[in-house]
Chain A
């Protein structure tokens, strides 16, 4: 992962305020007490899913190391919590065990958190991807976070279209919703802006875990002429394997997927949650238990395009990506619509 050394800009969206404000935070929160800061995370898939769950877990590990190891920060996790009531009881359990911060890492956990948070006013909670801190219900101890997945989608779409010889790209999605959908929409926009003649084919397997069907989906894309593939969820590993076998390129999201297939993965949009985590910790230590929402963007460094050093990406392609990122950062490009006229 990438742990920026400089101060991170975090965009904090206050629902009340309506306009995002930018605050500066210090990289390492001061830990005053001797007892460690205790973080628990509950997640739908596993800490090694090469996707959403792993991105957050590794973020926690990075912060832990920065803070000085397990003595300074304790991390507990519950994985495989696809069933929401199970996740809710895990969250409740952590809260009653006195954890400082309990992260419910899945948008489906929101409504449970809404019920649990008021029961534990001393505990900080966080959830994502969402921006809703339930402030409207008078809840003040919930953080919310989300990734502007479409931003990286746009950038990678540009890159894919640039590199594609056939002008055909394939997207392998799990279900048409949430973070995955945003990413895909961004990718389609980026690709078609870069190459107006480009075709972006989409498939959904209806499952977050069906690796084999995902592989078939990738195969179908390739047969239909695609030479650039992307997709989201933990099941894309299947598609990556197929891309590799067929000499197609892959673009990853949520986590740096290079290690899965070093000769296939061109670049990944990496979610870097360290800034968010550190700010939540710092806020809590400053007495603010919640009511802040965070968005990962290119601008605040939460989203990073990680290139695979093993693959030669033409300089002009990189330049196009850089231009796209710059455009997104300065607002001249809307990742879901294209350049703003």
Chain B
């Protein structure tokens, strides 16, 4: 056990945890906007897969990772828009639309993968960028300041999202749309527009989350590359209490524990690997139950908005 409490291990966990949290951050922050406005999008996983595929394929064929990222973002946006049409305009039950979207994204990304690539190929993704000076601090530099751009962006997103949600008129409209859309509607807030905006932006971020896997972290595409990460991302939104900082906390906790359990295995500590793999899931529940201040969900979450009904 003692071999786990060394500086290299500690900073190793931090380094891996920071990377591992990246896709969750993109997806969960996007999803928290969508949920804050009242739409539960369970299809994040499917959107991530489509983002991962298009990001990779466009990045690979064009030779430009930025173009790949753009393609992933657009794909995500379109998938988000599809979710918005279905759940906002066509007023479909949100839970089931999300599951449909997930199936669709899983199927289509695999299909396109087989059609265009046949099998997995790896590319060189976004390279690590060492931040001057800070990056040279022993241990700390490696763990915190030697990541690729998409990782930095993910963390930059937290204060930005926080700002948008709390300091802008748009943020106020979003929160109102999720809490009492009828009231916001009577003040001239266009609920439909707001929800379209958040759900498609959520989609866009999920698309980027997928791309962060395929062109920045793992640098290849394989069918079902997310393996259910999108569902965890949705869960982390609940952990974070619909606040970007909360989501950050949840993503980091989940990822750090995941990194930690891998070290337990690497160091040959004698517990069944299955229990090690279980750890992040168990601890996330525990943390929410006993350590984190819980917030109740937006009152109108999953509810269909009908004008005038209250």
Which A residues lie at the B interface, using CB under 8 A? 46, 48, 50, 54, 170, 175-176, 201-207, 209-213, 215-217, 219-221, 223-224, 234-235, 237-238, 240-242, 244-245, 259-261, 264
Contacts and interface: CB of A to CB of B under 8 A. Distances in A.
Interface stretch (B74-82, B112-120, B188-196): B112-120
Given A202-B268, A212-B23, A224 B12 contact: yes
A156 to B, nearest CB: 20
Interface in B208-243: 213, 217-220, 222-229
B262 A241 contact: no
Given A207-B227, A261-B122, 12 more contacts: A46-B114, A46-B223, A48-B120, A175-B273, A202-B266, A203-B262, A203-B266, A212-B20, A212-B23, A234-B222, A238-B218, A245-B219
A220 B277 contact: no
A176 B23 contact: no
A176 B265 CA distance: 12
Given A204-B273, A216-B258, A217-B262, A240 B122 contact: yes
A37 B242 CA distance: 60
Contacts of B53: none
B56 to A, nearest CB: 11
**Majority-rule SS of B interface residues:** helix
B125 interface: yes
Nearest to A48: B119
**Which 10 pairs between the two chains have the least Cβ-Cβ distance?**
A204-B273, A206-B277, A223-B12, A203-B265, A48-B119, A220-B262, A241-B219, A210-B227, A261-B122, A241-B218
Given A210-B227, A220-B262, A238 B121 contact: no
Nearest to B255: A216
B227 A260 contact: no
Nearest to B20: A216
Given A209-B227, A241-B218, A241-B220, A216 B16 contact: yes
B274 interface: yes
Contacts of A202: 265-266, 268
Contacts of B228: 210
Contacts of A54: 119
B142 to A, nearest CB: 9
Nearest to B142: A223
Contact of A201 (B218, B227, B266): B266
Please indicate which of the listed interface residues B16, B218, B263 has the most CB atoms of chain A within 10 Å of its own CB: B218
A261 B263 CA distance: 26
Interface string B1-34: 0000000110010011001100100000000000
A258 to B, nearest CB: 11
Nearest to A265: B122
B266 A209 contact: no
Contacts of A237: 120, 122, 218, 220, 222
Contact of A211 (B8, B225, B258, B273): B225
Contacts of B263: 220, 224
Contact of B122 (A212, A220, A244): A244
Contacts of B118: 48
B259 interface: yes
B213 to A, nearest CB: 6
Nearest to A257: B120
Interface in B118-133: 118-122, 124-125
Contacts of B223: 46, 48
A170 B267 CA distance: 11
B272 to A, nearest CB: 8
B218 A242 contact: yes
A204 B268 CA distance: 11
B91 to A, nearest CB: 33
Contacts of A212: 20, 23, 213, 217-218, 225-227, 229
Nearest to B280: A213
Contact of A205 (B9, B15, B218, B277): B277
A242 B125 CA distance: 10
A50 B125 contact: no
A245 to B, nearest CB: 6
Contacts of B20: 212, 216
B193 to A, nearest CB: 35
A209 B224 contact: yes
Contacts of B225: 211-212, 238
7 contacts: A209-B227, A212-B229, A221-B266, A235-B227, A238-B218, A240-B122, A260-B120
A213 B258 contact: yes
Contacts of A205: 277
B277 A201 contact: no
A9 to B, nearest CB: 30
A13 B219 CA distance: 43
Contacts of A210: 227-228
Contacts of A203: 262, 265-266, 273
Contacts of B229: 212
